[in-house]
Amino acid sequence: MDNYGISAAGCVILNEKREVLLLRQTYDGCKWSLPGGRIDTGEAAWEAAARESSEEIGLTVDQLQLSGMYYLPHRHAYYYVFIAGSWSGIPVPDGDEIDRYGFFALDKLPGPITNFNIERIQDALEYTGHARLRDQNNTRRQLINGKL
């Protein structure tokens, strides 16, 4: 599926220990990632982040704050990351795109995971009310604990 020009949104969901929820994808090398995906036509980025959290892991997220906006020049698109002020539900992987989940401390993230995701998680954990704006150049793309 061609992703050129298609923006996406993700959500940082934290538990009471400030560990971040990560999902293991069943495709593209089974990488760990934030809940998220494409923004549908006519959909706002925050709506996409909430919808993807519900579809992929069965959680309802509320009080979303934009923690980062990332330009993806290799795709000519943007990736928006929101931090959930609150969430409810019991995490259940959808079994299609996602097969596992877990809450992880920043210093104990699972692999494989891209440095893009690590940067987005770090930005969200450092969020002070102002979103980070970053250019995530494709030449910096790499996996941590895995191969690209």
For residue range 4-58, what is the model confidence (pLDDT) as tens digits? 788 999 999 999 999 999 999 999 889 999 999 999 999 999 999 999 999 999 9
- Least Cα distance to 59 among 86, 77, 79, 38 occurs for 86
* 143 and 111 Cβ atoms separated by less than 8 Å: yes
Place of tokens 């330009």: 71
* 10 and 81 Cβ atoms separated by less than 8 Å: yes
> Residue 138: what pLDDT?
52
- Least Cα distance to 86 among 53, 43, 118 occurs for 53
Residue 43, Cβ neighbours under 10 Å: how many? 14
**Helix count and strand count (H, E) for the chain:** 2, 10
SS3 99: strand
Q: Which long-range contacts (CB under 8 A, 24 or more apart) does 87-93 make?
A: 87/13, 87/53, 87/59, 87/60, 87/61, 87/62, 88/59, 88/60, 88/62, 89/58, 89/59, 89/60, 90/58, 91/21, 91/57, 91/58, 91/59, 92/57, 92/58, 93/23, 93/56, 93/57
Tell me the domains of the chain and their CATH numbers.
8-144 (3.90.79.10)
For residue range 116-129, what is the model confidence (pLDDT) as tens digits? 999 999 999 999 99
pTM over 0.85: yes
